[in-house]
Amino acid sequence: MAKIKLSMPNLGDARMRKQKNTMTYTYRLDDTYKNEGHGKTYYIYTYGCQGNEADSEVISGILEDLGYTLAISGEDSDLVILNTCAIRENAENRIWGVLGNLKGIKAKRPNMLIGICGCMPQEENATNKLITSYPFVDLIFGTHNIYDLPKLLHEAYSKESKVIEVISTEGDIYEGAPKHRALNHKAWVNIMFGCDEFCTYCIVPYTRGKERSRAKDDIINEVKELVKKGYKEVTLLGQNVNAYGKDLGLDYTFGDLLYDLDKTGIARIRFTTSHPKDLDLKTIYAMRDCKSVMPQLHLPVQSGDDHILKKMNRKYTHQEYLDKIAILKKEIPNISLTTDIIVGFPNETEEEFNNTLKLVDEVKFEGAFTFIYSKREGTPAARMEDSVSLEEKHRRLDKLNELVDKYYLEGNKRFEGKIVHVLVDGISKNNKDNLCGYSENLKLVHFPSKDMSLIGQIVPVKIIEGKTWFALGELVSE
Ligand code: SAH
Ligand code: SF4
Ligand code: F3S
C-alpha cells in the first residue's frame, strides 16, 4: 500500500520547551470534508488515563460531525480507532495484542479502516514498529493532531494510502471542537494539557507536550453549559492541575478556579491529578469552603523515600508530603486520600522500599494504584543502573498491595452506619438487582434498587457493609 508520511515523532524534539506562548485555535470543520463519514460507522477503543477518555470524546464528536455513526462493536464497524497509552510496557503490550486480533478481522473485512492515535505513536520506536510490523494499520496520528482527523481520514480514503502524521510539538489548544460525551450526568473537563514536570521515569511530558492552561472563561463556560444540560458532576483534568494558570502568567491559580466553578451551580467537582509539590493552601481552602468540591483527593506520592524521590525528580520529601497531608486532614477532616506508588525504581533498596511502606502506614491512604517501575525509552530513568530483579520487584509490589488493601477496607468500613450521597451511574455489573455509583468521598457504593429513574441522580444511601473495593448500602429517605 502507498504511504503518505507527513511527519514522524521524535522524542528529542518532544523534550524541548522553547515556545513562549501557546496558540489557541477555534476548531472548524472544513467544508471539503463535510458528510465524508455519511453511511459509515465508527468505534473507538480507549486505553490509559482520563486524558485519553476526554480525547476520545472529542474524536467521537469530530467523527459524528463528519456524518459517522457509532457502531455497536469494533468488529463490525467501518472505522476503528485505537486511542493508546504508553505509560508502562504492559499498557503497550495490550495494544499489540489488540492489533493482533484486529488483523484477523481486517482480513475478513478489508474495507475496514484502522487508525491508531494517543500516546504510543508519539514514541518513534512504537511508530516504527507500527509501520513495519502492522502494515494493515491505515492511519497513525498522535495526541497533538486529533483536530486534523477530517483531513487525515480524507487522505487515507481518497488516496487509498496509509497516512502517518505524528507531530512532536510543544502543543496548542483547540476550543470549540464537538464532543460526544460518554455519559449524561458526569463529564470530564480539561483545564490544561501537557506536563512540564519531567519526573525521570515518565513518558507523558514527551507524548503530551508542554503544560498549557485553557483560559478560565472557556472552562467556566463549559461547566455552565454542562449545568444547563443537567450534568451533576465534573472532573477537572490535567497532569498537574495545581500548576493551572502558571503558563498564563496571570495571578489566577487552581484554587481561584475552584472558587469560581463552585458558583456555576454544578453539584459536584472533582479533579485529577494533583502534584504534591504544587498543591497549595488556596486549593486546600477551596476544598474546605466550596460545597461542590468533593472531600476526596488523589495525591500521587510515588515513593516514601527521599533519595528515590530525588532520583525521580519529584521535588518534595517524605516529610513535606506528610506536612501537606496534615493540613488537608485538619482543614477537611472527612477527606479520603488516595495515591499512586511505584515500586522497584532503579536500584531501590529494601530500606528505601520500607520508607514507602512507612508512609502508607502514616497516611492510611484509602486507595492506591501501585505499579512496578517500567523502563520508558527516552526518559532519564531508562539510563539509570538497575540491579533489582523483577522477582524482587514483584515481592515488593505484593507486600505493598497487602498493606494498601488493609487501608482500602478501613476506608470503606468507616462509613458503615452512615448516610452518604451517591451519584448513580447505572446497574451493578455483578448483580442486576443493584444500582451503583460513587459517594462524595469517591467510594463505590452498591444498593438494591430497580428504579432506573435514579440513574444520573444523587440519592441518600445508608452504608450497611464496607468491603475492600466497594460498600453495600440501602436507599434511605432524608
Ligand atoms: N500526572 C499524574 C499521573 C501520570 S501517570 C501524576 O503525576 O500523578 C499515572 C501514574 O503512572 C503515575 O502517577 C505513576 O505512578 C505511574 N507511572 C508513570 N510512569 C511510570 C513508569 N515508567 N513505570 C511505572 N509506573 C509509572
Ligand atoms: Fe508524569 Fe510526573 Fe508529569 Fe505526572 S507529573 S505526568 S508522573 S512527569
Ligand atoms: Fe497513558 Fe498518555 Fe495518559 S501515556 S496515562 S494515555 S497521558
pLDDT in tens, 77-128: 999 999 999 999 999 999 999 999 999 999 999 999 999 999 999 999 999 9
Q: How confident is the model at residue 21 (pLDDT cuts 50, 70, 90)?
A: confident
Instruction: Quote the pLDDT of residue 144.
Output: 95
Instruction: Quote the pLDDT of residue 19.
Output: 81
pLDDT in tens, 152-176: 999 999 888 899 999 998 999 999 9
Rounded distance, CA 261 to CA 269, Å? Answer: 8
Is 381 exposed, middle or buried (CB count within 10 Å of its CB: 0-12, 13-18, 19+)?
buried
> Roughly what angle, to the nearest 10 degrees, separates helices 254-262 and 281-289?
10
- How is 349-362 classified by DSSP, letter by letter? -HHHHHHHHHHHHH
Ligand 3 pocket member 51 (CB < 6 A): yes
419-475 has CATH 3.40.50.2000 classification: no
Instruction: Quote the pLDDT of residue 264.
Output: 98
Rounded distance, CA 469 to CA 405, Å? Answer: 9
Instruction: Quote the pLDDT of residue 251.
Output: 94
The ranges of the chain annotated as CATH 2.40.50.140 are 419-475
When mean pLDDT is compared across 21-30, 186-195, 293-302, 336-345, the lowest value belongs to 21-30
In this predicted structure, the answer to whether residue 386 has a pLDDT above a threshold of 90 is yes
In this predicted structure, the answer to whether residue 233 has a pLDDT above a threshold of 80 is yes
Instruction: Quote the pLDDT of residue 84.
Output: 98
Distances, alpha carbon 381 to alpha carbons 125, 149, 348, 386, 405, in Å? 17, 34, 12, 9, 29
Q: How confident is the model at residue 271 (pLDDT cuts 50, 70, 90)?
A: very high
Ligand 1 pocket member 302 (CB < 6 A): yes
Ligand 3 pocket, mutate which of 207, 237, 272 (most atoms under 8 A from CB): 207
Instruction: Quote the pLDDT of residue 186.
Output: 98
H/E/C letters for each residue in 78-89?
Answer: CEEEEEECCCCH
Instruction: Quote the pLDDT of residue 478.
Output: 76
Looking at the domain that runs over 3-165, which CATH code has it been given? Answer: 3.40.50.12160
The ranges of the chain annotated as CATH 3.40.50.12160 are 3-165
Protein residue with its CA nearest to atom 4 in ligand 2: 239
Ligand 1 pocket, mutate which of 311, 371, 400 (most atoms under 8 A from CB): 371
Instruction: Quote the pLDDT of residue 425.
Output: 98
Ligand 3 pocket member 336 (CB < 6 A): no
Rounded distance, CA 4 to CA 111, Å? Answer: 18
Ligand 2 center to 78 CA (angstroms): 36
- Write down the mean pLDDT value for the chain: 96
Work out the percent of the chain whose per-residue pLDDT is above 70: 100
Mean per-residue pLDDT for 244-257?
95
Ligand 1 pocket member 374 (CB < 6 A): yes
Mean per-residue pLDDT for 278-304?
98
- Which grid coordinates belong to 424? 448513580
pLDDT in tens, 393-435: 999 999 999 999 999 999 999 999 999 999 999 999 989 999 9
Q: Euclidean distance between the first and final Cα of the chain, in Å?
A: 65
Q: Amino acid identity of 61?
A: G
- Which grid coordinates belong to 86? 504508553
Instruction: Quote the pLDDT of residue 436.
Output: 98
Mean per-residue pLDDT for 36-58?
97
Instruction: Quote the pLDDT of residue 5.
Output: 84
Half-sphere exposure of residue 436: CA atoms within 13 angstroms, side-chain side: 17
Q: Which residues line ligand 2 (CB under 6 A)?
A: 195, 197-199, 202, 204-205, 239-240, 275
